[in-house]
A and B are shown apart, each in its own frame.
Chain A
Amino acid sequence: MATNMNRRHLLRLGAFAAIGVTTGGALTACGDGDSGGDGVAELSMWTFLDPAGTDPRGKALKEIVDGFNASQSAAKVTVTSMNYAKIDGEVIRAANTGGGPDIVNIYTPQLAQHVEGGSIQEIDEYANDWLSEAGADYLFPIDSAKVDGKLMALPWESRVWLLWYRKDILDKYKVSAPTTLDEAIAAGAAIRKASGNKITGFAIGLSEQSLGADFMEKFDPFTAGFGGEIIGADGKAAFASAAGEQAMALIKKAADAGAMGREVLTMGADEVVNGVKAGTVAMAIEGSYRVASARSAEGVGDNLVTLPVPSTTAGKNMPTAVAGQTLAMGANTDHPEQVWAFMRYYLSAESQAKFAAAGVLPVLKSVYDSDAIAKAANATELLQWRDYLATDGKVSRFPADYSELSTNLVKAAQNMIFNGAAVPAALSEVQTQYNQKGK
């Protein structure tokens, strides 16, 4: 009898639990809708910037989001910050399970991967009118945000890659500032030798970590500088060319001359920048977006000098890649109109000026004429970067499998630079492998 009672109890409890779970699920589902009861669309934005962090760009983001939320009553944006190495995977996974953010920050080379992953949607429908009015104000062609001819995102940040050098280190070793890449390599070799290999004279990160990004950020513009390209107009790899070989030979020369040693095999962009901050790297080619952060390190400040990357010929610059951060519309958003309104707000002159004050290179030409830029502490430098981008900016193609290609290329580069693998053969092997996979 007691057993039966218990069993009944159990069954009853199970039934209640099932009802509870179902009801709870339904209630949760109701609450999960991203429209508040007051008709305000709740928009989620996923980005690598942290509004609560110390990065000046995160603080600018917070001001912009607060400004947008206060400016209207139709939508409210909430920011979720994620590590930049994880955000793309998280967004694609979330979108494929029917969720994901309404607004997502994407770095240009990752755009095609997001399109293939189905995590974002095209915005031509919303952007065409705005672009016909404001598009000419873009500093560079907006093509970098198009995939298969469709506009997938709005670039809000641009960046240039610059020659960085620590003036105090060059002075210490009595080396003058370089005017060509060959001089930079020679100066780097002299510093490394004089420091007993404690200082890397000229660093290019060759680690596979971060998908070989630091290497690709040099190999791509160097190849362009010699008249070639990584991915051709037909979507096939085209770096196993005379230009690609010259670019690789130039990087190899830095190692052969002694400007960098095997320590660069453990370096990605973060390690190179940390080395510049710590004084263990004298020269490097790094992005404009990292300058403010590097200068804020103890003992760096104005000792960090930046120049457009010189070519191997005096008086000429290497091209710089046109890449940067963009805002895209999540594939599963229920509020595309409000998302577009936020994207426009993000691209307004006021928002761009806020980012400029945080050391970000604005994408709109008109912003450079604003008071905010004129009053910026690094106004001269910002204008110099803008001119470099306008003159020598080069739009590259970033296919969906760019991450895999860059990882394979940096592995090949390690062998070419430090293991004596023949440059033409190694480049051809990676190119053939890539093009065969793409068939």
Chain B
Amino acid sequence: MTVTAPPPVRAAPPEAPPRPRKGRRRYGPVGLYVPALVLVALVSVIPIAWAVRLSLYRTRGLRTVEFVGWDNFATVLGPDGWGDIARTFAYVVISLVVAVPLGLGLAVLLNKPVRYIRAFRVVILLPWVVSQTVAALLWKWLLNGQYGPLHSLFGGREPLADPIGSMAALILVNVWISYPLATILCLAALQTVPQETVEASRVDGCSPTQSFYRIVVPTIRSTLLILVIMLTLLYFNMVTLVYTLTGGGPFSGTQVLSLDAFLQSFQFFKIGVGAAYSVVLFALNIVFGIAYIRVLRGSSDS
């Protein structure tokens, strides 16, 4: 008699979770960020594309009249335009060169454990809450050559009545209203620097200055880069302060691209020319942004 053993019962494999359908798997995650893409397109991409289109047209009021190709850019990049571009660079670069180190320096001071530190922080960050219009009117009064409280500093001369003095005043006020942003970002970054690392560098023989430049600054480098990008965009696009403080004068000494874009678009209603100025500004912003990121990547690699 032969007994045939029944084949061993194999345990049924656990039920696999239902596989999402192919289309759902592929498009599901995409669907989640579509709303964000649509939003970005609505508030950024479409207006930029529209501005580029406008910049190629002659306009009447706010309506396009005739395709003129690059004619509007001939105004922006013409002899007067290059002067405006040069002034824009001077305004942005000098403001950055002053505001970033000033913000960093103040952040280092505010990071020290001293008495009344909160009061110091409030006072130093105060200009941040002042609007550009108020700041411009305040400084216009301070610098007035006839009755301004600071007029004696300039020997009775009025800085705002001179093209160089006017640009210097514009940069001063610009730095005054924007250094608190630099200070806050730097302060936040400084508080993330490990104290042990700094102390270790001191034990290894670094001076405080060496510790700062070799340990602290590299640690907060990415914050500094973001700060520089933010301030660059802010300065390139600033209209209210320039318009209220100097109006671009005197002798066109503070005529910058952002003011040109505003005046052409909303004072002279040449929206095509205004759009051309905006496109050039946009391109400059992109170029500067990419350049900063490359600098950061380069130093990270090294």
Minimum CB–CB distance from B243 to chain A (whole Å) comes to: 8
Contacts A211-B267, A265-B250, A266-B144 known; list 14 others, CB within 8 Å: A92-B61, A96-B62, A116-B60, A118-B63, A119-B61, A198-B147, A209-B247, A262-B162, A262-B250, A263-B158, A263-B161, A403-B268, A404-B267, A419-B251
CB <8 Å contact, A116 and B160 = no
Chain B 244-261 interface residues, beta-carbon cutoff 8 Å to A? 246-252
Q: A92-B62, A263-B145, A265-B161 are in contact. Are A113 and B250 (CB under 8 A)?
A: no
A280 proximity list for chain B (CB < 8 A): 146-147
B156 lies within 8 A of chain A by Cβ: yes
Complex Cα distance A415/B253, Å?
A: 12
Task: State A415–B270 Cα separation when bound (angstroms).
Answer: 25
- The answer to whether B93 has its CB under 8 Å from any CB of chain A is no
B247 and A208 contact, CB distance less than 8 A: yes
Find chain B residues with CB under 8 A from A261 CB.
161
Contacts of B162 in A (CB 8 A): 262
CB distance from B76 to the nearest CB of A (A): 15
Give min CB distance, A1 to chain B, whole Å.
9
**Given A118-B61, A198-B146, A263-B146, are A414 and B249 also a contact pair (CB < 8 Å)?**
yes
Q: Hey, which chain A residues are within 8 Å of B161, CB to CB?
A: 261-263, 265-266
Q: Which residues of A contact B (CB under 8 A)?
A: 89, 92-93, 96, 113, 116-119, 197-200, 206-211, 261-263, 265-266, 275, 278, 280, 400-401, 403-404, 407, 411, 414-415, 419
Q: Chain B residues near A117 (CB, 8 Å)?
A: 61-62, 269
- Can you offer 6 A-B residue contacts whose CB atoms are under 8 A? A89-B269, A207-B247, A208-B249, A262-B157, A266-B144, A414-B250
With A and B bound together, what is the CA distance between A119 and B60 in angstroms?
A: 12
**Which residue from A96, A207, A407 sits with its C-beta under 8 Å from B250?**
A207
Residues on B with C-beta less than 8 A from A118 are 61-63
Q: Is B108 part of the contact surface with A, judged by Cβ < 8 Å?
A: no
Bound-state Cα–Cα, A206 to B140, Å: 16
Question: In the complex, what's the smallest C-beta–C-beta distance from A332 to chain B, in angstroms?
Answer: 14
**Closest A residue, CB atoms, query B248:** A208
Among B144, B146, B246, the one with the most A-chain Cβ atoms within 10 Å of its Cβ is B146
Q: How far is the CA of A175 from the CA of B243 in the complex (A)?
A: 38
- Contact assessment for A266 and B160 in the assembled complex, using a CB-CB cutoff below 8 Å: yes
Main secondary structure of the interface of A (DSSP, over half): helix
Chain B residues whose CB sits within 8 angstroms of the CB of A415 once the complex forms: 251
B2 to chain A minimum Cβ distance, whole angstroms, is 50
- Which residues of B are interface residues toward A (Cβ below 8 A)? 60-63, 140, 144-147, 156-158, 160-162, 243, 246-252, 263, 266-270
Residue contact A207 to B249, C-beta cutoff 8 Å: yes
**Residues of chain B lying within 8 A (CB to CB) of residue A200:** 146
In the assembled complex, which residues on chain B have CB atoms less than 8 Å from the CB atom of A119?
61
Contact A93 B62 (CB under 8 A): yes
A275 to B147, CA, bound (A): 10
Contact partners of A404 in chain B: CB under 8 A: 267-268, 270
Residues of A within 8 A of B247 (CB): 207-210
How far apart sit A414 and B146, CA to CA, in the bound complex (Å)?
Answer: 20
B249 surroundings in chain A (CB, below 8 A):
207-209, 265, 411, 414
Tell me if A116 and B251 are in contact (CB < 8 A): no
**Are B147 and A278 closer than 8 Å at their CB atoms?**
yes
Query: Closest chain A residue to B28 by CB distance?
Result: A7
- Min CB–CB distance B62 → chain A (angstroms): 4
**Interface pair B62/A407, CB less than 8 Å apart:** no
Residue of B nearest to A93 (CB): B62
For A89, the chain B residues whose CB sits under 8 A away are: 266-267, 269
Contact check: which of B147, B243, B250, B269 meets A92 at CB < 8 Å?
B269
Give chain A residues whose Cβ lies under 8 Å from the Cβ of B146.
197-200, 263, 275, 280
Shortest CB–CB separation between residue A364 and chain B, in angstroms? 32
State the CA gap A210–B145 with chains docked (Å): 20
Nearest 5 interchain pairs by C-beta: A209-B247, A117-B61, A265-B250, A262-B161, A208-B249
A137 to B162 Cα, complex, angstroms: 49
Q: How far is the CA of A411 from the CA of B145 in the complex (A)?
A: 21
Q: Which residues of A contact B243 (CB under 8 A)?
A: 209
Q: Which residues of B contact A211 (CB under 8 A)?
A: 267
A266 touches B268 (CB 8 A): no
A401-B250 contact, Cβ under 8 Å, with A96-B63, A117-B61 = no
Which residue of the partner chain B has the closest CB to A278?
A: B147
A116 to B60, CA, bound (A): 6
Q: Which residues of A contact B62 (CB under 8 A)?
A: 92-93, 96, 117-118
Q: Which of B145, B246, B269 contacts A113 (CB 8 A)?
A: B269
Closest to A85 in B: B267
| Complex CA distance for A200 and B144, rounded to whole angstroms | 13
Q: For the complex formed, measure the closest distance between the CB of A296 and the CB atoms of chain B, giving whole angstroms.
A: 20
Q: Provide the bound-state CA to CA distance between A93 and B61, in Å.
A: 9
Expressed in whole angstroms, the Cα–Cα distance for A93 and B158 within the complex equals: 37
In this complex, the member of A200, A208, A262, A400 whose beta carbon has the largest number of chain B beta carbons within 10 angstroms is A208
Cβ-closest chain B residue relative to A267: B161
Contact (Cβ within 8 A) A116 B269: yes
Give CA–CA (A199, B268) in the complex, Å: 34
Inter-subunit contact B252/A411 (CB<8 Å): yes
